[in-house]
Amino acid sequence: MNIREKALEFISKNPGSTARQIACGADIPGRVILSLLNELFLTDVVVRARGGRSALAYRIAEPSDIPAVNDEYEKHRVMAIGLEQKKLWRRAAGVWALAMDSTRNETARANAIERRKRCITHGRMPRLYSEGSSISVASVPELDNWRDF
pLDDT, residue 39, reads: 83
Give a yes or no: residue 50 inside a domain. yes
User: Which neighbouring-strand residues pair with 17?
Assistant: 58
Among 48, 64, 80, the domain boundary falls at 64
Verify that 23 and 75 share a domain, yes or no: no
Give a yes or no: residue 142 inside a domain. no
Give a yes or no: residue 49 inside a domain. yes
For residue 38, give every residue at least 6 positions away whose Cβ sits within 8 Å of its Cβ, in sequence order, or none. 118
Give a yes or no: residue 48 inside a domain. yes
Average pLDDT score over the chain: 81
Is the confidence at residue 130, as pLDDT, over 80? no
pLDDT tens digits, one per residue of 10-44: 989 998 888 889 999 999 888 888 888 888 887 77
pLDDT, residue 95, reads: 94
Verify that 58 and 76 share a domain, yes or no: no
Verify that 7 and 55 share a domain, yes or no: yes
Q: C-alpha distances in angstroms, 47 versus 32, 38, 75?
A: 18, 10, 22
- Name the more confident of 42 and 61: 61
pLDDT tens digits, one per residue of 64-90: 776 677 889 889 988 998 898 898 999
pLDDT tens digits, one per residue of 98-116: 999 998 888 888 888 988 9
pTM: 0.57
Range of the domain at 58: 3-64
Give a yes or no: residue 139 inside a domain. no
Instruction: Kindly indicate the confidence band of residue 94, based on its pLDDT and cuts at 50, 70 and 90.
Output: very high
- What's the structural domain count of the chain? 2
